[in-house]
Amino acid sequence: MTGTTIKNDHYYMQLAIQEALKAEAIGEVPIGAVLVHEGEVIASSFNLRETLETTASHAEMIVIDQGNQHFNSWRLEDCTLYVTLEPCPMCAGAIVQSRIKRVVFGALDPKAGCAGSLMNLLQDDRFNHQVEVTSGVEEEVCGALLQNFFKQLREKKKREKQARQSEKQAELENKMTDRQVIPFPVTKQDDHSSDQS
């Protein structure tokens, strides 16, 4: 790999990171992607699965669709896809099917990655197309984006749970206060009444 290719990989990955930040800004998992053909960015997007409520709304799937529209073709030969997280099985399959030449990704995905972590669908020689793969470009930045996002999400859920528990406790205390038995007033009998004869 030449020095120019490495420099370009970092440049385009930084563009993908900018896309990931857009996802984070709207509460989506911060994953971004750009599709490059002959040095030109022809598609860019970010994860929109929660926003669109559609399974296939991963960043890679969206840029593949944009690339298809750009070329008016399902074939994306001679394109390089840059993505901040290792592609999942769905995206890896679409990458192979679209004949993308090369994939460059940032952070590994040990739970769903199919470009080397769990398996390598992109370079399986049983398929009729294999993809060049470069991993670890801007890995620390890409990984930190995801780690920080999920850390904040866990903290938010923890705060919400604590708030719900506090509300329940307050409701319980209010019910207990409402149910307190007010003692019936006892009147003292006249001391002389017992002396009557």
pLDDT digits (tens, 9 = 90+) for 11-34: 999 999 999 999 999 999 999 999
**Residues spanned by the domain of 57:** 9-150
Task: Report yes or no on 182 lying in a domain.
Answer: no
Task: Report yes or no on 93 lying in a domain.
Answer: yes
- Backbone dihedral angles phi then psi of residue 36, each to the nearest 5 degrees: -120, 135
Task: Report yes or no on 181 lying in a domain.
Answer: no
Task: Report yes or no on 186 lying in a domain.
Answer: no
Number of domains, the chain: 1
Binding residues for Zn(2+): 58, 88, 91
User: CATH number for the domain including 102?
Assistant: 3.40.140.10
Residue 195 is given by DSSP the state G
Binding residues: 58, 88, 91
Task: Report yes or no on 131 lying in a domain.
Answer: yes
Express the helix, strand and coil content of the chain in percent, nearest 5 each: 50, 15, 35
What pLDDT score does 53 carry? 97
| Known active-site residue 28 | no
Task: Report yes or no on 118 lying in a domain.
Answer: yes
Amino acid 116 reads G
Q: Which residues of 9-31 are buried (b: 16+ CB within 10 A; e: fewer)?
A: beebbebbbebbebbbeeebbbb
> Which one of the listed residues 19, 24, 60, 86 is annotated catalytic?
60
Task: Report yes or no on 45 lying in a domain.
Answer: yes
Task: Report yes or no on 2 lying in a domain.
Answer: no
pTM, two decimals, is 0.80
Task: State pLDDT tens for residues 177-191.
Answer: 766 655 556 566 655
The label of the residue with tokens 């929109």 reads 48
Q: 172 is written with which tokens?
A: 């319980």
| pLDDT tens, N- to C-terminus, the chain (197 residues) | 778 888 899 999 999 999 999 999 999 999 999 999 999 999 999 999 999 999 999 999 999 999 999 999 999 999 999 999 999 999 999 999 999 999 999 999 999 999 999 999 999 999 999 999 999 999 999 999 999 999 998 888 888 778 788 788 877 777 777 666 555 565 666 555 555 54
